[in-house]
Structure 1
């Protein structure tokens, strides 16, 4: 192992490995330290394998509804081992691809544990004893892990975290999901399509806290229509084993004195994340940690000479694409070639891969109202979109918000088929500071789902044609 580098990155997730590659491209002698598999939680236990599972769930839905399109499908059955095995193989393939990318870009990959030994010093244990490495710049990209609740033990058998939920050996007949954020809603949707009777519990007044309220309400209605039981304004008081192979949850409904008891075969805990800040030696260097996350400036600097933090460990939004972009901008800022403008959270898209899909970028209507900005709102229901109707997916909405004075696109919120692909059009518009007139004059192909994006802009200007 070399003991001197220009840049050392701790953590090989989507923020860390991208930052390391960009650093090497810029001529820095670079090393990446990762104690587990390359790709981090996102690739190995999050974004990628869950999407493989959700695609399987979508196929299950397609088979059930094939009769609507004139196909007769005989009895089908699920081989869960094959479905889970495929998701794991996809993750393994991509992880191996990252190792090849690191070699291609001359990044030293060190499999081991790292901690700060001082300013610009990193202690690395790679199995042959600890070694101290010097790096002019150290980037912490250690990610985050699921947050736990007091008194609730994720045992991996009856009470699952995300990892167990992605590697089940059987589909539970009754499933309880605690937390209705993006992760909870995705798991609830997945298991409902695989045949579970799902109860989804959320403390807030609506599922998907932080989402545009109108979109969240539509998601609630769509999931309820699919047969999911949704309990909002319910706090978890107790979750424990019940009987030989089940769980029991005691919930406290807001405004009611009598607790509610819910029985299930398995439970998934999905109540947010906390940063992986332990064991890094942050206290000794005076690094500020707030709410479980490292505090940085707009460019990832911690305030300690040569020390930066990016991605999930540096706080919300906890998204892989945010981490990657932060890594690139941090390294480019170190190299003195930054673009002059830090990453803005309101230009980062959010995607939820449930059925229906949900996506957004920019401000919600409530945020615009709270800011006191005069605005226009446009809505385009997918019931008026030919492609959506042809797909049998007309229950959706595209919603846009514009500044009434300047015409700036303030936010876009979508629910329906493939909206996680559509949202990038609005993301580009936000990045380029496009106005309503720019979008108005843009030609959208027909017949496509994207036409609803245009129709939403037209509606904001009272010029809607197709609804």
Structure 2
């Protein structure tokens, strides 16, 4: 059966490509890995390999034609097979040749010029390879065509000084390949230099210096088309400011003296990114009728390339980067662009562009806005200029910045405010996040012989704390881990691990009782022995704790049992558990003291009738009925587990939806599932704590929906699951410059506080109060302390979230509502588990997977799963989000059958309406 060969999608923003060369002709044998054809975008060229075996049956897209991504370019199959009809592609628009001026009569009658003299070596035609026929003379106009040469051969020719136009190609269709360039370079090296030929006399009057016509490159044609379209359809206006760059130049000089390679451009890019975050409208786009704000700043920087023209490499999420990171990424992208190795994704997707001609001494210029952007910044040279300062004339380095903006998106006042804010940032030259670019403070003397001195002290041995401590020790640092409690913190002893052990028992009870008979497993008289459940929970915790204790010594971390308190940024006084005091000092301190359960005002827990999650984990027998206040992750997990264990559960949530941080579709699905099980769920719940009565028979309270009728609820106990409070008290933060906002410690993207050598991670800083998030924060802080390069700032949007209810919930990225709030155009794919064979086999058919993708770029913005083993399935989605993958890429990954993972592949396919099984 004939198989189609599709036009690939070389980049997220690419919608069409031009096929510039067929490397196989109809009837040629085709094998896996063969280069079938070569394509070109306005940014790059690439070879397209085939994964098919057979012969090339047809070429649907001709050389020079442009076709959309995923269009059929050709067919491969067995000899003689019929080829299905394929819609015609759209040829690339023809470029009309420039008009030819009429020549004087004398020119027409002039004799023909003499034959050209011998060319110098660098341009002389090269002999063919041994055994090959000499090349025929080029036909008229043939020399004006673009040379057929593979991208790798083109780069090699450029590096070797070989002119591709005089090299004979031995590849398919006469294309020049690498071995041709190597042979040509060897021939050039072996030739003696010929004498310089005499310059022939002019045979006819010509324009001085004029040569024969040559075609514009595709890149220059595309640039011209795009900028012409922008100039004619976009109402441009410009605003210019003169920046006194004196302080900026002085900062750069100091850094250069310390060994830094930062440039003025790096500071301009960093300041622009921060200013765009302040003025989001300047970072938006429009189609003429609608406006799309953008929450992420992707800076484009114009770079000239040796082949002629400009490309715009993109520094993604520039507002989250330090100047050093911007410098490193800009240098790498520019080098790749000039070498021709930049990917299409490297060259597309900018939200704002900076064009800098300052290095050429340009005093002032304006630039044309790139299509799809609201503005572009033109940066000129910092030139000595007389400036009035305090009534005196001084010569200062002045740099002119000109903003060209789309008047539909940015009015004059906003444009002026933007450039003024940018001007202020550059003139102050004191608000840059420099990090490693700034000469580090003199290292505090290492006193390795002092048992109370450490490179790093970590306060708090929860998941984030011990992760940071272990990694710091692995990086060769001397580390102390301080905690008065057992290692493992809330997650191991009062949270993640013990609750999941209970949930495992609850899930098994449900499966045996509700699904066993249907699967042919009959077990009469199933009962819950909760004392055994609690004992298993304790055994799991003990086993994990024992393993963690051994890892302290294995990693060379010193355990200090006690409560630590800062006395200044580098001193920690520890009140040891034995009553003694020990004073420690360190270069850096990481705060990881976690959080504690909190209750509602007027509803104080008593450990019996009004309980917290800590109290519940000490139960050895279950109540008959339970009211759970709070339907976040903790509340729904306990509600689900105790319902499966036979407890009558009422779930109350103050907000309009349970699990309110999840996607609205997920929230509705979970509530329907709970109610189908017989659980009472009240949203918009209101009650007066004064109505809560506790007596020997249990508790009762009056509750109802907001604005609705209230009624009395009776239960054996109330579980208050309304959140957690950070442990910032009595840490000695007042002896440092650490800032606390709304109870949480304020940090930057690398988890650094306002005190340079004090860091904070985990529940202490807010963000997501999740164990794996705390661990990730700990790794970021530790690598930053150790001076590691390319430490990425914390990104909470791409952190996965998991809730272990039945059905399970897992998500990563934005919800559909959050996308709408940010004005992001989206496409959504949703597939139910009942369409997945393994879910039907498992007997768990409720729930779905939902993939939210950007409607233009295809990037996965969010994945939301509710259903069997959702918490195990989210790992793939988290990986995809971390890589910035598209829905097509997720769909293109093979998901083994039959597995639950197929639901994610199907949902990704459904984004384009192409789900196979639903």
TM-score (norm 2): 0.50
2:837 alignment partner in structure 1: 386
| Greater relative CO, 1 or 2 (CA 8 Å, sep 6+) | 1
**Aligned counterparts of 1:237 and 1:260: Cα–Cα separation in 2:** 12
The answer to whether residue 692 in structure 2 is matched with residue 243 in structure 1 is no
The answer to whether residue 859 in structure 2 is matched with residue 408 in structure 1 is yes
TM alignment of 1:107-126, pairs within 5 A: 107-126=557-576
**Residue by residue, what CA displacement relative to the aligned partner does 1:159-214 show, whole Å, maximum 9, x if unpaired?**
11111112213211110000000000000001001111100000000000110000
**Residue by residue, what CA displacement relative to the aligned partner does 1:440-459 show, whole Å, maximum 9, x if unpaired?**
21111000111111111111
**Aligned counterparts of 1:102 and 1:328: Cα–Cα separation in 2:** 16
1:187 alignment partner in structure 2: 638
The Cα of 1:412 is off from its aligned counterpart by 0.2
**Residue by residue, what CA displacement relative to the aligned partner does 1:339-397 show, whole Å, maximum 9, x if unpaired?**
34212111110001110000000000000011111110000111111110111111110
TM alignment of 1:21-32, pairs within 5 A: 21-32=470-481
Structure 2 unaligned segments of length 5 or more: list them: 1-449
The Cα of 1:241 is off from its aligned counterpart by 4.0
The Cα of 1:240 is off from its aligned counterpart by 3.5
1:142 alignment partner in structure 2: 593
The Cα of 1:224 is off from its aligned counterpart by 0.8
The answer to whether residue 711 in structure 2 is matched with residue 264 in structure 1 is no
Moved more, 281-290 or 426-435: 281-290
**Aligned counterparts of 2:731 and 2:697: Cα–Cα separation in 1:** 39
Retained in 1: the 8 A contact 2:513–2:526?
no
Equivalent of 1:73 in 523, 535, 546: 523
2:545 alignment partner in structure 1: 95
Moved more, 281-290 or 377-386: 281-290
The Cα of 1:88 is off from its aligned counterpart by 1.2
The answer to whether residue 555 in structure 2 is matched with residue 105 in structure 1 is yes
The answer to whether residue 862 in structure 2 is matched with residue 398 in structure 1 is no
The Cα of 1:128 is off from its aligned counterpart by 4.4
2:913 alignment partner in structure 1: 462
Retained in 1: the 8 A contact 2:651–2:679?
yes
1:254 alignment partner in structure 2: 706
Retained in 1: the 8 A contact 2:596–2:727?
yes
**Aligned counterparts of 1:337 and 1:365: Cα–Cα separation in 2:** 36
Equivalent of 2:498 in 42, 45, 49: 49
**Aligned counterparts of 1:236 and 1:4: Cα–Cα separation in 2:** 54
**Aligned counterparts of 1:356 and 1:59: Cα–Cα separation in 2:** 13
TM-score (norm 1): 0.97
**Aligned counterparts of 1:135 and 1:340: Cα–Cα separation in 2:** 22
Equivalent of 1:12 in 434, 437, 461: 461
Retained in 2: the 8 A contact 1:10–1:34?
yes
Retained in 2: the 8 A contact 1:174–1:197?
yes
**Aligned counterparts of 1:2 and 1:279: Cα–Cα separation in 2:** 25
The answer to whether residue 891 in structure 2 is matched with residue 440 in structure 1 is yes
**Aligned counterparts of 1:440 and 1:47: Cα–Cα separation in 2:** 32
**Aligned counterparts of 2:563 and 2:451: Cα–Cα separation in 1:** 15
Helix, strand or coil at the partner of 2:523: coil
Equivalent of 1:174 in 625, 649, 652: 625
Retained in 2: the 8 A contact 1:158–1:245?
no
Helix, strand or coil at the partner of 1:122: strand
The answer to whether residue 533 in structure 2 is matched with residue 83 in structure 1 is yes
Q: How many residues align?
A: 466
Helix, strand or coil at the partner of 2:696: coil
TM alignment of 1:340-355, pairs within 5 A: 340-355=791-806
Structure 1 unaligned segments of length 5 or more: list them: none
2:786 alignment partner in structure 1: 335
State which structure, 1 or 2, has the greater radius of gyration over its C-alpha atoms.
2
2:904 alignment partner in structure 1: 453
**Aligned counterparts of 1:200 and 1:378: Cα–Cα separation in 2:** 31
**Residue by residue, what CA displacement relative to the aligned partner does 1:73-93 show, whole Å, maximum 9, x if unpaired?**
121222211111111111121
The Cα of 1:252 is off from its aligned counterpart by 5.2
**Aligned counterparts of 1:396 and 1:362: Cα–Cα separation in 2:** 19
Equivalent of 1:211 in 649, 662, 682: 662
**Residue by residue, what CA displacement relative to the aligned partner does 1:259-295 show, whole Å, maximum 9, x if unpaired?**
4322110111100111001111112324211222111
Helix, strand or coil at the partner of 2:540: helix
Retained in 2: the 8 A contact 1:51–1:353?
yes
**Aligned counterparts of 1:338 and 1:297: Cα–Cα separation in 2:** 17
**Aligned counterparts of 2:478 and 2:858: Cα–Cα separation in 1:** 46
**Aligned counterparts of 1:31 and 1:417: Cα–Cα separation in 2:** 41
2:764 alignment partner in structure 1: 313
Retained in 1: the 8 A contact 2:750–2:792?
no
Cα RMSD between the aligned structures? 1.3
The Cα of 1:245 is off from its aligned counterpart by 3.3
The Cα of 1:253 is off from its aligned counterpart by 2.6
Moved more, 174-183 or 293-302: 293-302
**Aligned counterparts of 1:272 and 1:209: Cα–Cα separation in 2:** 13
**Aligned counterparts of 1:406 and 1:373: Cα–Cα separation in 2:** 11
The answer to whether residue 718 in structure 2 is matched with residue 287 in structure 1 is no
The Cα of 1:249 is off from its aligned counterpart by 2.3
Helix, strand or coil at the partner of 1:136: strand
**Aligned counterparts of 1:41 and 1:340: Cα–Cα separation in 2:** 27
Helix, strand or coil at the partner of 1:346: coil
2:292 alignment partner in structure 1: none
Helix, strand or coil at the partner of 1:112: strand
**Aligned counterparts of 2:677 and 2:779: Cα–Cα separation in 1:** 41
The Cα of 1:36 is off from its aligned counterpart by 0.7
The Cα of 1:71 is off from its aligned counterpart by 2.1
**Aligned counterparts of 1:353 and 1:134: Cα–Cα separation in 2:** 41
Moved more, 353-362 or 231-240: 231-240
Helix, strand or coil at the partner of 1:52: helix
The Cα of 1:338 is off from its aligned counterpart by 4.2
Retained in 2: the 8 A contact 1:253–1:260?
no
